[in-house]
Structure 1
């Protein structure tokens, strides 16, 4: 059963989370994180995505996003997930050094067989719940702090801005791996 993105207000800013099927720790390898960053960058430049904050954890992603006028966030997110899943699975399939290759491909294939929307592999879980952020309730700051502190809570870094695959450094005046649209 497909659970569609529900972006009710096209002009709103949303907190969105999505995870790898089976919560597989795919993003422990930078090559896969870099593919996702390329996809985010492309969607920012070509698909109308405003990327306000982001973090890539080992098996899931948190974003704070909106869309530019004339674009639908649901379409952007669909395309982002579709393309990134295709590229990451392709990279895994063609890898000569990925020690978890057979195991991951088996789980992606099994998830794909259980989903009538897929023909072969399913990389991303379909369940997610975009949360519209109300600027009057300090929701931006709360969600940005939550998102950026995920690697700290996981024990990977002491300071949020030290985590490479996050926009935390951008909010401290530095320059991260990809360009973002700051909220503050």
Structure 2
């Protein structure tokens, strides 16, 4: 088993990226982004997640996270991905307005069939690509800037704080959509 992309040390702060299978643009819909935000908030309040920065793009997510003492980050990530995928898939299946419903369910079903860990559907790719951040502030700033500039680089907004589904506003102006654990000032 590979150890390259593992959340080894529970005391570390990690930069984590994970994507929807097939890089499907699920998060173009606010409903699905909001479900993910609810899941992040729940894990923060109930599962020991420390959420330092985040951005939700159309088909992937970047987080800077750690865990409270006594909690294991791999378990938090497992629960976050499991619950959010369950809820988002449920919404897609039950939707009467989702124009991409059949196409997305077909792709999620196909991905699930190809993975022995799933029964029917697979929503998230199984990898998280965690990178342990060195405790010096420059590395934190570098990753926070990278994460917050994702929507700018994608041509969605001109300024990081203009993108609603990101913690950039927390670092620049104040309170964003969900509570976070600031790393800097």
**TM-score normalised by the chain length of structure 2:** 0.96
Shift of residue 173, structure 1, vs aligned partner: 2.9
Q: Give 5+ residue unaligned stretches, structure 1.
A: none
Q: Does 1:81 align with 2:81?
A: yes
Further displaced range: 78-87 or 172-181: 172-181
Q: Deviations over 1:63-96 (max 9, x none)?
A: 0000000000000000000000000000000001
Whether the 8 Å contact between 2:52 and 2:63 is mirrored in structure 1 is: yes
Give runs of ≥4 in structure 1 deviating > 4 Å: 1-5
Given that 1:3 and 1:128 are in contact with CA atoms closer than 8 Å, whether structure 2 keeps it comes out as no
Q: What is the root-mean-square deviation in Å for CA atoms of aligned residues?
A: 1.6
Q: In the alignment, which residue of structure 2 is the partner of 1:174? A: 174
Given that residues 5 and 74 in structure 1 are in contact (C-alpha distance below 8 angstroms), is that contact kept between their aligned partners in structure 2?
no
Report the alpha carbon displacement of residue 156 of structure 1 after superposing the two structures with TM. Answer: 0.4
Map 1:58-97 → 2, pairs under 5 A: 58-97=58-97
- The unaligned stretches of length 5 or more in structure 2 are none
The alpha-carbon distance between structure 1 residues 170 and 46, as it changes in their structure 2 partners (threshold 3 A), is: same
1:25 equivalent in structure 2: 25
1: CA distance, partners of 2:137 / 2:169: 24
Do the aligned residues in 1 keep the contact of 2:5 with 2:131 (CA within 8 Å)? Answer: no
TM-score normalised by length of structure 1: 0.97
